[in-house]
Each structure stands twice: as C-alpha cells, then as structure tokens.
Amino acid sequence: MEEIKQRIEALRAEIDRWNHQYYVLAQPAVSDFEFDRKLKELETLEAGHPEFYDPHSPTRRVGSDLNKAFVQVEHRYPMLSLSNTYSEEEVTDFYNRVRKALNEDFEMVCELKYDGTSISLIYENGTLVRAITRGDGTRGDDVTANVRTIKSIPLKLRGTDYPALFEIRGEILLPWLAFDRLNEERAEAGEPLFANPRNAAAGTLKTLNPQIVAQRKLDSYLYYLLGEKLPADGHFENLEKARTWGFKISDAVRKCSSLEEVFRFINYWNTERKNLPVATDGIVLKVNSTRQQLNLGWTAKSPRWAIAYKFQAESAETVLKSVDFQVGRVGTITPVANLEPVLLSGTIVKRASLHNEDIINKFDVHIGDVCRVEKGGEIIPKITGVNKDARTGAGEKVRFIEYCPACGTRLVRPEGEAAHYCPNNAGCAPQIKGMIEHFTGRKAMNINAGEETIHLFYEAGLVNDIAGLYEIRLEDMLKLERWGEKSAGNFLESIEASKQIPYDRVLYAIGIRFVGETVAKRLAKAFPSIEELMDATYEQLIAVDEIGDAIARSVLDYFSAGSNRELIRKLKSYGLQWALDAGILAERTDRLQGKTFVISGVFTEHSRDEYKELIEKNGGKNTGSISAKTHFVLAGENMGPAKLQKAKSLGIKIINEYEFLTMIQNQGI
Ligand code: IVH
C-alpha cells in the first residue's frame, strides 16, 4: 500500500513539473507519448485507490486548461437551486402547501430574482476569506481573487455584531450598461459577443486575470445568509443586518403576510424591472422564519420553503419573409431573418438572428413560416422556434449558403465551430471595407475616415487594403465629389499622426481574429517586436497568460499567409510602429523649451499625469488655465466647450495627443 502511495506521489510530482515546464516555461521536457503514458498510469492508480484522492492532482485538471484551472472547494452547505413556477396558480399552490405543512401563521419574503451567476462568500471574523462559485452544487471553484475586485463586495465588514463565521450567498451581475460596452468592444475586436449579461458575468468570474475582472465592473446583490449563529430567526431581519455590515442588499425585498401582497409585488416588478440597471428574470418567494424553513425542509434539489416565479420571456410570433446572409469584418457569415414587422416589448422588430446552420436545420426553417422571436436578455432579437402547425407548406426550406454572397468564394466551416467563414479575406469587399474601418477606428489608428469615406475610397479604387490608406495622395482625394483641401488635409494629418500610434494598438488595428485590445497588449508585451510575434510558435503563444488555443491558432494562421506578411512589410515601410517603445517616457530633451501647455480632457495613450511629466521632461511648462501666454492646448476627449472657445478666441493651437507625441519624438515644434 505504501508503495502505491509513493508511486502516486512520484507521478504527481513528475507530471506537475512537466506541466510547469510546458505551460509556464514553454520548454517541453518530454514527448507527448511519455506524458500521456505517465498520466494514464496515474489515472489508473488513482481510480483503484480513492483513499489517496487529492483535488490538486494533475489528473484533476485534464479536460480543462491545465495551467489555468481554479481550485475546487467543497461547499459547507450545498448550493441548491429553486423550483420554478410560471403561473399565478402555481404560486397559489405553493402558498397553500406551505400553509398546510406549517399549520401556523407565517410570513413570506418576496425578492427579485437576479439573473447573474451565483456566489457563496465566506467571512471569518469580519474578513472575506473565500468566494466559491456554485459549481455542481456540492463543489465549486475558488474565485476569491476575482471576487475581491468587485467593489460592492466588502473585504472587511463594518460594525462588530457579525457572527465569527458565516456564509452569505448572492448573485454576481454585470449591469446592462457595462454589458453593452463590453460587447461593443468585443464586436470591434471581432471577438464573439456574450449573449446576455449572465453569460458575461459567469465568463468574467472565470477569467484568470483579476485585473481584467476589475475592469469589467461587476456588481453584486446578496440574498441569503447561512451559519450557526445568525443574528435573527427571520431571513428578512438577517438581510437588514447584513446591509449594516456593508453588503449590497436589494431594496426590493418585502415581507408579505397574504397572497394578495405577494401578487401585488409580482405585478409591480413585472413591468418596473425593466427600469433596473441589472437583469432580473423573476421573483423569489421565501418563508421568512428560519425555524419554519427547517420544518419544511428540502427535497434533493431545492428547498420546500422557497420557489421562483419566472417572468414571461418577451417573445412574439411573426412571419419569416426572407433570409439574408451577412459577411462580417473577419468573414463570419451571419444568417439574418427578415420578418413581418412585429411589436416586441416596446420596439418594432423586423430582423432577427437565425444563429447558424445547425439551428436553421434544427428548426427546419421554411420561408413563410410563423417564427417565434425573443428579446429576453439579449440585445439582438433571435428566432427561438418555428410554429410548425401554422405552416402553409408553400415556402422553400432555408438552406445555409455554400458560397460567399459578396465575393462568391466557397465558405468554410472549421471543425468544431458552428459558424461559416468566407476565407477570401483579401478579396471580399465587405471584409476589406470592414477591416479598413476597424483599422481607422478611434481605438485603433484613429484615422479621419469613417464608414462612408472608406466606402467612397474603395469604390473610387483608392484603397484595396489597409496599406492603401497610406498611398492615397492629395490630388486623388480632390477628384472625389464634395472633397476639398480641408477634408483631404484632415485625413492626411491623421495618417501622419497614426505613425506614432504604439505597437500594441497597431497590432490590434490590423484585425487578427480574436486579438482585441487586451490581447494585443499582452502579445506586444510578450513579443516586443512584430518579428518576434511573426516567428512565435504555438507553444510560445499559449505560454502567455490568457492566450489560449483559439487565439494562438488565429495568430499563427494570420502570419502564415504571405499576403499578411507582405502587408506588414508595406506598413513598416510607411513608418508605423512595430516594436514596443519603452524609451519614450524616460527620455529628456529640450524640444518644448519655452512653451507653455494646458492639458484638458481624457486621453487614450497616457494618463494626464504622464503627459504633464512628458511636457516637463522635454523642457515645457504646464499651466492650469488658458491665457494669452499659452502656446498649446493638449486636448483629449470631452474637453469642456468653454475652454475650447477660449483657446480658439485667443488663437491658441489645439493639438491632440498624437500630434503631441510626434512633436516630442522627432522634430520638436
Ligand atoms: S435564494 C436555497 N434568492 O436563482 C435558496 N436565489 O434557481 C437559495 N437567484 O441559484 C437561492 N435571485 O443563483 C435566491 N433573490 C434570490 C435570487 C436567487 C437569483 C438565483 C440563484 C439561485 C437560483 C435558483
């Protein structure tokens, strides 16, 4: 027996070491064959000897990202779910069941059912010691480091009257505003969108970098205390106490002593919830007294003392008129249903997503079908089903296209993916235009050319790819309708300024699939020049924190295309930044000697303080307000209109951050 234990331990240590060498150091130490053989041996031994179970064994990581898994922790009290009801009758039944079982007076607590991802927080002596996801209800992931970044969750409690040890459960949420912003960023980066705030919150909580979690602005509502020595018997009273300790407890919590009150609560929130900053999908009813809760007990899956009443998903039926296939910036084909206009929770819906080929086939969609459209938590309405009984039989079956509707190239569907792509990135008009739009975007190269301009340039044959932007001459633009010296000048100026945009943003701008702003920053840090990135191997790529299989493959794919390498070569010859420039902040010059600056607004590349520092390092002077002595206003986003007006009236030159960076980098003023 001792021998087996020793063998298991030796295997675990050896495999751990190999994993570290492979995933962290990017220095594989053994062949895949040898690795698999040892892992198999360990699995077999462990299966035969459960007494040597160890949650940290390398076998526990198989199936997930090996170096990236969270530690699993057992819940002190299982995390059960609630049974769902959908009608007033079911709520009445529940109420009557409770009354009969208790056979004494009781109070109900009505709460909103928050639609996020559930969390269990453990506090010891007033300090947050652990945060665990629901997992399978018995064991969950330890996500403490991430949860600590959520501002509404107290790390230390206020007051002194909290139990020495207790657990509080609730929901982690991504508010609508933050959700919309996140998806906008992802859309711009060509990354897949989160379908709803719940997925976004759950995904964020499982992110491996707490800094990213911190940026995403998660919020929380807590709704359930557990422990041996809670302050009161009443759930409602405990929540009120928890509020004084610093927890975020919903204001929409009511004690009710009759069914009428319960229904009033339900009806009120059925419409009022639409004005809340976070997603809700129902109401939760709980018996208030803990003593009575214990009396009622639990079934295997859920408590008998509580239920959820789910709001109706917002949906409507309407006729499918036709299906379009749209080509996105990275070539993704999206099937879009054109519908007979229908009113759905306050807006008229004419188009809805048909997802992908698998869904089209699953629903067996025909033109003329009566389809169910839903908004639910999602931004884009979607088709959620087909009413086959209403089918007239006349319409044709919808089939996924085989060739790109824009350029005619045969579409591809990568193995394991649901989406189709047009592989002709360099020759497909919507992809080219989309790529250029992404490249010129404010967060990318910040070039003065929006959708319309790019369309115009493209149609006039002035651009055919990103590099083409740098080849446009003044006289070409002057030939365009309604283009004068001024607009052409603005464009050329922004082209010049774009040559100072740092490497990581250039990397984001060229539009590699799955390489959004954050990933680009990471890649730039790990591979400080484009040559290093172009030569990176799969192993080197996935060794970078947060870079997984999909991103690594996409990067390799991108640089394996000769046309992309050629594009980079061209862009390099035009003077774009292809390496990290760490020197810029450190350098001292007298390029701004005798010049006075006023800084106003919000900046993208450096903070205000960094700009102040840069001005001083280069011999310039900072002042707080604009006067006749000011030489330059360094203006960011959202500069106040009064300041702008004053600067203009005094004839002071207003420059943006890129013009400023050009100024201090090359030629001075
Ligand atoms: S109480 C044993 N209260 O709904 C009862 N749950 O289907 C524990 N939820 O897993 C849950 N809002 O993630 C409770 N006010 C609320 C809730 C709520 C949302 C979620 C929670 C739970 C699921 C149950």
Residue 397 counted as domain residue: no
Mutating to test ligand 1, I would choose from 76, 81, 309 the residue with most ligand atoms within 8 A of its C-beta, which is 81
**Which DSSP category does 286 fall into?**
E
Q: Is residue 239 part of a domain?
A: yes
Q: Do the beta carbons of residue 14 and residue 38 sit within 8 Å? A: yes
pLDDT > 70 in the chain, percent? 94
What residue ranges line ligand 1, CB within 6 angstroms? Answer: 80-82, 111, 113-114, 118, 171, 223-224, 284, 303, 306, 308
Query: Is residue 104 assigned to a domain?
Result: yes
Asked if pLDDT for residue 369 goes beyond 80, the answer is yes
Lowest mean pLDDT segment, chosen from 241-250, 525-534, 579-588: 579-588
Q: Starting from the edge strand earliest in sequence, which strands make up the sheet with 254-256, in order?
A: 83-85, 306-310, 280-287, 108-114, 254-256
Backbone Cα Rg of the chain? 30
> What angle (nearest 5°) sits at the alpha carbon of residue 381, between those of residues 375 and 387?
85
Same domain, 218 and 339: no
Task: Give the C-alpha separation, 457 to 433, whole Å.
Answer: 10
**Residues shown for the chain:** 669
More confident residue, 27 or 146: 146
Residue 469 lies in a domain: yes
The pLDDT of residue 63 = 31
CATH code, 55: 1.10.287.610
Helix (DSSP H) and strand (DSSP E) numbers for the chain:
24, 21
pLDDT reported for residue 66: 27
Position 62 scores a pLDDT of: 37
Q: Per-residue pLDDT tens for 239-258?
A: 999 999 999 999 999 999 99
Q: Mean pLDDT over all residues of the chain? A: 88
Q: pLDDT band for position 20 (50/70/90)?
A: low
Q: How many angstroms separate the CA atoms of 511 and 495, rounded?
A: 18
Do 444 and 464 belong to one domain?
yes
Q: How confident is the model at residue 644 (pLDDT cuts 50, 70, 90)?
A: confident
What DSSP character marks residue 20?
I
**Residue 130: per-residue pLDDT:** 96
Residue 417 domain flag: no
pLDDT at 17: 81
267 phi and psi angles, rounded to 5 deg: -65, -40
The closest alpha carbon to 127, from 85, 90, 158, belongs to 158
In the listed set 568, 585, 602, which residue is the last one of a domain according to the structure?
585
pLDDT in tens, 413-466: 988 888 999 999 889 999 999 999 999 998 899 999 999 999 999 999 999 999
What local confidence, expressed as pLDDT, does residue 379 receive?
61
CATH number at residue 439: 1.10.150.20
Q: What is the CATH number of the domain that holds 624?
A: 3.40.50.10190
DSSP3 helix / strand / coil % (the chain, rounded to 5): 40, 20, 40
Distance CA 473, CA 365 (A): 50
Instruction: Give the tens place of pLDDT for each residue, 117-136.
Output: 999 999 999 999 999 999 88
Of 72, 67, 69, nearest to 18 by C-alpha is 67
Q: How far is CA 177 from CA 174, 194, 197, 206, 634, in A?
A: 8, 13, 10, 21, 30
**Mean predicted confidence (pLDDT) in 374-392:** 79
- With a cut of 90, say whether residue 261 has pLDDT above it: yes
Average pLDDT over residues 465-490: 93
The pLDDT confidence band at residue 637, using thresholds 50, 70 and 90, is: confident
Residues 288 and 380 in one domain: no
Q: Of 293, 310, 327, which residue constitutes the final position of a domain?
A: 310
Residue 217: which pLDDT band, with cuts at 50, 70 and 90? confident
pLDDT of 606 higher than 50: yes
Q: Are residues 229 and 377 in the same domain?
A: no
Instruction: Extract the tokens encoding 97.
Output: 């069941």
CA of 113 to the centre of ligand 1 (A): 6
Residue minimizing CA distance to atom 12 of ligand 1: 113
412 lies in some domain: no
Mean pLDDT of 189-194: 75
595: annotated active-site residue: no
Q: Do residues 126 and 182 both lie within one domain?
A: yes
Same domain (yes/no): 159, 200: yes
Residues 289 and 334 in one domain: no
Q: What is the pLDDT of residues 47-100, one digit of tens each?
A: 888 888 876 677 765 333 222 458 889 999 999 889 889 889 999 999 999 999
Can you give the pLDDT at residue 29? 75
Specify the residue with its C-alpha closest to ligand 1, atom 13: 118
Q: Which of 585, 613, 638 is the last residue of a domain?
A: 585
Tell me which of 38, 100, 113, 397 is the catalytic residue: 113
Give the burial string for 87-107 (b: 16+ CB within 10 Å, else e).
Answer: eeeebeebbeebeebeeeebb
CA of 210 from ligand 1 middle (Å) equals 25
Specify the 3-state DSSP secondary structure of 282. strand
Domain count, the chain: 6
Closest by Cα among 97, 110, 104, 82 to 261: 110
pLDDT at 516 over 70: yes
Q: What is the reported pLDDT for 212?
A: 83
Same domain, 293 and 320: no
Residue 378's domain is classified under what CATH number?
A: 2.40.50.140
Q: How far is the CA of 244 from the centre of ligand 1 (A)?
A: 21
CATH number at residue 182: 3.30.470.30
Contact in structure between 635 and 585 (CB atoms under 8 Å): no
For residues 235 and 239, what is the distance between their CA atoms, to the nearest angstrom?
Answer: 6
Residue type, 597: F
For residues 273-289, average pLDDT: 94
Q: Look at residue 394 and tell me whether its pLDDT is greater than 80.
A: no
pLDDT number for residue 400: 96
Arithmetic mean of pLDDT, 638-642: 79
Q: Give the pLDDT confidence score for residue 346 in this predicted structure.
A: 65
Q: Is residue 231 part of a domain?
A: yes
Categorize the per-residue pLDDT at 326 as very low, low, confident or very high, splitting at 50, 70 and 90. very high
- What predicted TM-score, i.e. pTM, was given to this entire model? 0.53
Q: How many CB atoms lie within 10 A of CB 126?
A: 17
- 120 and 242 both lie in a single domain: yes
- pLDDT band at 22, cuts 50/70/90? low
Q: Describe the crossing of helices 197-205 and 176-188 by its angle, rounded to 10 degrees.
A: 80
Domain-located, residue 459: yes
One domain, residues 200 and 300: yes
Do 88 and 194 belong together in one domain?
Answer: yes
Structural domain boundaries, residue 660: 590-665
pLDDT of residue 64: 30
Nearest alpha carbon, ligand 1 atom 17 = 113
Report pLDDT for 354.
93
CB 314 within 8 A of CB 374: yes
Beta 139-141 vs 72-74: how paired, if at all?
A: antiparallel
Per-residue pLDDT for 587 more than 80? no
- Give yes or no: residues 230 and 378 share one domain: no
Q: How far apart are the C-alpha atoms of 110 and 115, rounded to whole Å? A: 16
